[in-house]
């Protein structure tokens, strides 16, 4: 049987206003497939499950249709719903124990649907129930216990047995793994696999992304009652197209993630709708997005446009109007005006030399909006040159740069300052990047002065204070009059960070921002940087020679050697399984192991072959004569003859 949800809209009424829990959600649950519904709490996942079961409270207003095998379900008709519940459509509820009757033994409760819906006798029903319980790993001695005598995980499994006992065609699992340890999750996984194998349709509602990735055939990402992205599960963590999906994945402690958890900027809201000027109970389109509490600095979100716009890393003014449709983009369904995550920065074949000494030799690099890309490599590999070219501080000799989809060189020629406002730079040497005649105030207010922001000193002081408190520095007048050389390195770097952020850029190029700091200060500054990246939705190009640091902060890593990128891919993939011998060397050196450099015949000049060949332990003959190109390989790009896919 196929369960179809067609433009389902659910509003929890409370007097004249209500909370919009589901907003025109359409889903199809096909037999033999598992659809996973993921999203933050409050996104309406459970409401959807409950709506399918016809179990929404009286106060809920339901619009749209739910069809089971083409037959529309009248969810308000208790009798009709009772006929399909358990036998055709069943659900494993969240909060296990609350859904069981504390006065009955579990085996009796599991047998109950068999007796009432399946018209089975009591004895065979109890036998079937016992079988079902054993199949979810509950030993017979537990069967005659009462719910309160079981652990949370055991109750959860009992509910699973109960939902499957009548062999329903559609199984809805609401957070089935939240009360389970990692090993017990295996049982849920087996139940899902078996159900799918037997042609059942499974709806898996969960916030456990990794579990969903492994069990589901398809996924839908729900946010504030709207489906923002539908995608194949394997793309969820590695190739999300909606900024929300990316942020969700970054917040999840997956076993592959090496980066520190990022979170999503801002808070989730819930949507309040008002009934005014309505006909036939039609809801006003002017729904408010209400923020619980009022801690969020952006205040009320605009009522129209993309729901995620306030927390998005690539929102443009157009995102705040109209209704964004779910579009097909690269095999995903994406509800985004910009057709998924955009490349904020694109470099095409960028080449830069200083007086005929090449520093960057034809680099292609894309930086996605909202991500942190770490550029690692040894000194002299061209990292800083590349980063400064990306930031617009240097001009490439050849190649093209694009910022936010626009040709950067044209933009620079036309109106450099408007580009400069969007790009912040943190330099390697914080104390040199501020004039020693500047006080803390002068240093942080400099960008404001240059761009003519803030009419007078007091207005600028307010802005300076705000950004200083963002970087956790003192804002008292005495501190504002201090000189950088009177501060410690950590504080100077924070001042530089404040300087880079005071114009609210969208892109931050950080050149070894912490290499001059000792580890404890570095840790604090990095944590601050990550926090600001999340809260401000910054896109970052992070230059570092420390691959260990890159591992903790970056989404993707680009390994640079002699002006070229030799390996580029997700930080997790590169850390787990470095493919280029140079990356391996960097990783080994970073872990403190002494690496004996192999002295090559020639290590200088722009040789024809791979720049690493002279030092490479796995060198092939052609490495010296033929330069390897960046080729896609196991989820990343590698430029190496020796590590190519097995031939």
From 57-65, 76-84, 123-131, 425-433, give the range in contact with other proteins by CB under 8 A.
425-433
Distance CA 8, CA 28 (A): 12
Closest contact distance (angstroms) between CB of 503 and other proteins is 8
What value does the CA radius of gyration of the chain take, rounded to a whole number of Å? 29
Tokens of 369: 């909006």
Nearer Cβ to other proteins (59/435): 435
Phi, psi angles (nearest 5°) of residue 362: 70, 70
Distance CA 52, CA 55 (A): 8
Distance CA 382, CA 545 (A): 11
Token pair 């403190």 is found at 592
Nearer Cβ to other proteins (96/392): 392
Nearer Cβ to other proteins (278/435): 435
Nearer Cβ to other proteins (326/426): 426
Q: 439 CB contacts (<8 Å, ≥6 apart)?
A: 480, 481, 482, 483
> 251, 429, 475, 515: which one contacts other proteins (CB under 8 A)?
429
Nearer Cβ to other proteins (104/451): 451
Tally Cβ neighbours within 10 Å of residue 175. 22
Closest contact distance (angstroms) between CB of 182 and other proteins is 47
Should residue 457 be labelled a site residue for other proteins when binding is judged by CB under 8 A?
A: no
CA neighbor of 537 nearest in space, from 517, 512, 507, 497: 507
Should residue 450 be labelled a site residue for other proteins when binding is judged by CB under 8 A?
A: yes
Tokens of 120: 């089975």
Using an 8 Å Cβ cutoff, are 107 and 143 in contact? yes
Nearer Cβ to other proteins (211/427): 427
Closest contact distance (angstroms) between CB of 434 and other proteins is 6
Nearer Cβ to other proteins (377/447): 447
> 116, 339, 395, 449: which one contacts other proteins (CB under 8 A)?
449
CA angle 303, 27, 21 (to 5 degrees): 35
From 81-89, 179-187, 295-303, 478-486, give the range in contact with other proteins by CB under 8 A.
478-486
From 308-316, 426-434, 519-527, 609-617, give the range in contact with other proteins by CB under 8 A.
426-434
Using an 8 Å Cβ cutoff, are 189 and 211 in contact? yes
Should residue 451 be labelled a site residue for other proteins when binding is judged by CB under 8 A?
A: yes
Should residue 406 be labelled a site residue for other proteins when binding is judged by CB under 8 A?
A: no
Should residue 300 be labelled a site residue for other proteins when binding is judged by CB under 8 A?
A: no
> 236, 425, 525, 532: which one contacts other proteins (CB under 8 A)?
425
Distance CA 622, CA 124 (A): 73
Should residue 434 be labelled a site residue for other proteins when binding is judged by CB under 8 A?
A: yes
- State the binding string over 362-401 for other proteins (x if CB under 8 A, else -): -----------------------------xxx--------
Q: 548 CB contacts (<8 Å, ≥6 apart)?
A: 590, 591
Should residue 432 be labelled a site residue for other proteins when binding is judged by CB under 8 A?
A: yes
Should residue 420 be labelled a site residue for other proteins when binding is judged by CB under 8 A?
A: yes
Alpha helices in 54-121 (DSSP H): 78-84, 106-116
Token pair 């057709």 is found at 339
Of residues 484 through 503, those in contact with other proteins by CB under 8 A are 485-488, 491
Nearer Cβ to other proteins (393/590): 393
From 292-300, 320-328, 435-443, 520-528, give the range in contact with other proteins by CB under 8 A.
435-443
Should residue 483 be labelled a site residue for other proteins when binding is judged by CB under 8 A?
A: yes
Should residue 409 be labelled a site residue for other proteins when binding is judged by CB under 8 A?
A: no
Nearer Cβ to other proteins (445/640): 445
Q: 129 CB contacts (<8 Å, ≥6 apart)?
A: 107, 108, 110, 111, 114, 143, 161, 165
Distance CA 568, CA 580 (A): 10
If DSSP states are collapsed to H, E and C, what string results for 579-594?
A: CCHHHHHHHHHHCCCC
Token pair 């009424």 is found at 13
Distance CA 558, CA 377 (A): 9
**Cα 608 to Cα 223, 304, 379, distances in angstroms:** 52, 57, 21
Distance CA 395, CA 381 (A): 18
Closest contact distance (angstroms) between CB of 395 and other proteins is 12
CA angle 250, 253, 254 (to 5 degrees): 90
Should residue 141 be labelled a site residue for other proteins when binding is judged by CB under 8 A?
A: no
Using an 8 Å Cβ cutoff, are 484 and 495 in contact? yes
Counting residues that bind other proteins (by CB under 8 A) gives: 31
Closest contact distance (angstroms) between CB of 244 and other proteins is 32
> 437, 455, 593, 594: which one contacts other proteins (CB under 8 A)?
437
From 44-52, 168-176, 242-250, 422-430, give the range in contact with other proteins by CB under 8 A.
422-430
Q: 237 CB contacts (<8 Å, ≥6 apart)?
A: 209, 210, 213, 249, 252, 254, 256
Should residue 184 be labelled a site residue for other proteins when binding is judged by CB under 8 A?
A: no
From 134-142, 160-168, 187-195, 419-427, give the range in contact with other proteins by CB under 8 A.
419-427
Binding site for other proteins (CB under 8 A): 391-393, 416-417, 420-421, 425, 427, 429, 432-438, 446-447, 449-451, 474, 479, 482-483, 485-488, 491
């Amino acid at each position: 049987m196929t369960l179809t949800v067609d433009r389902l809209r659910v509003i929890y009424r409370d007097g004249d206003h209500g909370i919009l829990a589901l907003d025109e959600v359409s889903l199809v649950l096909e037999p033999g497939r598992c659809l996973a519904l993921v999203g933050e709490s409050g996104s309406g996942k459970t409401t959807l499950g409950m709506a399918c079961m016809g179990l929404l409270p009286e106060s809920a207003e339901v619009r749209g249709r739910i069809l089971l095998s083409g037959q529309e379900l009248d969810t308000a008709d208790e009798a009709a719903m009772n006929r399909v519940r358990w036998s055709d459509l069943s659900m494993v509820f969240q909060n296990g124990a609350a859904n069981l009757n504390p006065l009955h033994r579990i085996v009796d409760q599991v047998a109950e649907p068999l007796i009432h819906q399946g018209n089975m006798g009591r004895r065979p029903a109890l036998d079937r129930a016992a079988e079902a319980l054993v199949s979810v790993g509950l030993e017979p001695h537990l069967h005659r216990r009462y719910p309160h005598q079981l652990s949370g995980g055991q109750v959860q499994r009992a509910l699973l047995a109960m939902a499957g006992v009548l062999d329903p065609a559609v199984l809805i699992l609401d957070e089935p793994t939240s009360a389970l340890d990692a090993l017990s999750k295996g049982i849920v996984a087996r139940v899902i696999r078996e159900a799918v194998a037997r042609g059942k349709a499974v709806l898996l509602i969960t916030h456990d992304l990794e579990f969903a990735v492994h069990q589901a055939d398809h996924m839908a990402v729900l946010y504030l009652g709207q489906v923002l992205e539908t995608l194949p599960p394997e793309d969820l963590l590695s190739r999300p197209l909606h900024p929300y999906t990316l942020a969700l994945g970054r917040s999840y402690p997956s076993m592959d993630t090496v980066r520190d958890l990022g979170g999503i900027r801002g808070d989730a809201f819930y949507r309040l709708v008002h009934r005014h000027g309505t006909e036939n109970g039609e809801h006003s389109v002017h729904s408010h997005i209400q923020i619980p509490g009022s801690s969020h600095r952006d205040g009320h979100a605009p009522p129209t446009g993309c729901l995620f716009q306030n927390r998005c890393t690539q929102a443009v003014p157009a995102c705040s109007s109209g209704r964004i449709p779910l579009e097909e983009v690269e095999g995903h369904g994406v509800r985004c005006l910009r057709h998924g995550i955009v490349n904020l920065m694109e470099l095409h074949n960028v080449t830069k030399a200083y007086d005929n000494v090449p520093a960057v030799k034809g680099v292609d690099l894309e930086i996605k909006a909202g991500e942190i890309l770490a550029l690692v490599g040894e000194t002299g590999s061209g990292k800083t040159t590349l980063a400064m070219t990306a930031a617009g501080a240097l001009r490439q000799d050849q190649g093209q740069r694009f910022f936010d989809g626009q040709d950067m060189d044209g933009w620079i020629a036309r109106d450099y300052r408007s580009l400069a406002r969007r790009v912040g730079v943190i330099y390697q040497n914080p104390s040199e990047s501020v004039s020693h005649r500047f006080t803390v105030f002068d240093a942080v207010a400099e960008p404001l002065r240059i761009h003519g922001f803030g009419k007078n000193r007091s207005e600028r002081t307010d802005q300076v204070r705000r950004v200083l408190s963002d970087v956790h520095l003192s804002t008292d007048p005495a501190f504002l009059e201090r000189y950088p050389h009177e501060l410690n390195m950590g504080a100077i770097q924070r001042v530089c960070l404040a300087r880079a952020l005071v114009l609210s850029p969208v892109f931050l190029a950080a050149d070894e921002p912490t290499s001059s700091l000792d580890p404890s200060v570095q840790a604090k500054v990095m944590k601050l940087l990550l926090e600001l990246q999340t809260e401000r939705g910054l896109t970052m190009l992070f230059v570092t020679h420390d691959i260990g640091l890159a591992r903790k902060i970056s989404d993707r890593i680009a390994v640079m050697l002699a002006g070229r990128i030799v390996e580029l891919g997700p930080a997790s993939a590169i850390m787990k399984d470095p493919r280029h011998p140079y990356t391996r060397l960097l990783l080994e050196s970073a872990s403190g192991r002494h690496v004996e450099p192999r002295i090559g015949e020639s290590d200088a000049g722009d040789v024809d072959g791979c720049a690493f060949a002279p030092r490479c332990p796995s060198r092939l003959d052609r490495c010296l004569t033929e330069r390897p190109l960046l080729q896609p390989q196991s989820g990343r790009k590698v430029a190496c003859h020796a590590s190519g896919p097995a031939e």
